[in-house]
Chain A
Amino acid sequence: MEKNKGRTGAPSGDLALVRKILEGDESAFASLVERYHGRLVRLALVYVRDQADAEEVVQETWLGVLRGLKEFEGRSTLRTWIFRILTNQAKTRGVRDGRMTPFSALGESDATDDPAVDPSRFTSKGMWADPPRPWNDDTPEKILLREEAVGVLNRAIAGLPPNQQAVVTLRDAEGLSSEEVCNVLDISETNQRVLLHRARSKLRRFMEEFLKGR
């Protein structure tokens, strides 16, 4: 169990790994790459729509990691630091290719502002009229074992507006703290929470549909 240096500082394990990599330890670098590569590709796909482009962005990210590694001071976790390098790479790439507008332009307020639940499911007094029905599956493992569940859920995430997709990927898929998410994405705590709320609400609706009659 790694002890934390400070509230958001890097665990001592991070610093030890960085030291080994800087000393040229190939297996240390390999273990870092193996741990994060797939996660970086997943995050890159928020910014660039093409799998091949995402892989290129991640390659560039690893080079950026190596170039910047001796500057890593452990003020954030290594994971947050690497994700930040990725988002910078991906944003530049996405904008340069003309495939997307700068992240910040996608903005504080989406035009698509659905309520968390379809209003017709409540009475005029705001109480449940069509309440949530129990799901047969009560663990993530059971849900994800269902045929197509993984693909369907990934596509649901990919269908979110990019800023919601980025927040929910980092916060819920990757498990970063809200502070770390704000750090990686350069957004305010409030903005992060609004985006997270919209994303989670949509994904819950999505799961509810998916699990109906299964």
Chain B
Amino acid sequence: MLRCRELTELITDYLEGRLPMGQRIRFHLHLGMCRHCRAYLRQMKLTIRTLGALPVETIPPAVLDELLRRFRGWKTA
């Protein structure tokens, strides 16, 4: 029987689709019976999505200008 602690260690394999079928079935069965592990899975998924939503800095205009200058030089070379 899959225990909660094991689930927390298998969770990445699960999310990456790398659990062998037998383990995946046990994983799902456990989730169906364990609201704490369901909560853990939700938190893990939300963590991943939040990482994906982190803002990225926009390029400073001076840096862009410099790169375009280089580009003009490059294309005429």
Chain A residues at the B interface, C-beta cutoff of 8 Å: 24, 26, 29-30, 33-34, 37-39, 41-42, 55, 59, 62-63, 66, 115-117, 119, 122, 125-128, 131-135, 138-141, 143-144, 150, 153-154, 157, 168, 172-173, 175, 178, 193, 196-197, 200-201, 203-204, 207-208
| A131 near B36: Cβ-Cβ < 8 Å | yes
Given A126-B5, A127-B3, does the pair A24, B12 have CB atoms closer than 8 Å?
Answer: no
| A168 near B46: Cβ-Cβ < 8 Å | no
Give chain A's interface secondary structure class. helix
| A131 near B70: Cβ-Cβ < 8 Å | no
| A140 near B43: Cβ-Cβ < 8 Å | no
Tell me the count of chain B residues lying within 8 A, CB to CB, of chain A. 42
Q: List 23 A-B contacts (CB under 8 A).
A: A34-B59, A37-B63, A37-B64, A39-B56, A42-B57, A59-B63, A116-B11, A117-B8, A122-B4, A127-B4, A131-B36, A132-B40, A134-B39, A143-B50, A144-B53, A153-B54, A154-B54, A172-B51, A196-B12, A197-B11, A203-B51, A207-B43, A208-B43
CB under 8 Å from chain A, chain B span 28-77: 34, 36-37, 39-40, 43-44, 46-59, 63-64, 66-68, 70-72, 74-75
Q: Tell me the bound Cα distance from A62 to B65 in angstroms.
A: 13
| B63 near A66: Cβ-Cβ < 8 Å | no
Chain B residues at the A interface, C-beta cutoff of 8 Å: 3-6, 8-9, 11-13, 16, 18, 34, 36-37, 39-40, 43-44, 46-59, 63-64, 66-68, 70-72, 74-75
Q: Tell me the bound Cα distance from A22 to B64 in angstroms.
A: 18
Given A128-B4, A196-B12, does the pair A204, B53 have CB atoms closer than 8 Å?
Answer: no
| A29 near B51: Cβ-Cβ < 8 Å | no
Q: Tell me the bound Cα distance from A109 to B36 in angstroms.
A: 30
B4 proximity list for chain A (CB < 8 A): 122, 126-128
Q: Tell me the bound Cα distance from A77 to B3 in angstroms.
A: 40
Query: In the assembled complex, how far is the CB of residue B5 from the closest CB belonging to chain A, in whole angstroms?
Result: 4
Q: Tell me the bound Cα distance from A178 to B43 in angstroms.
A: 21
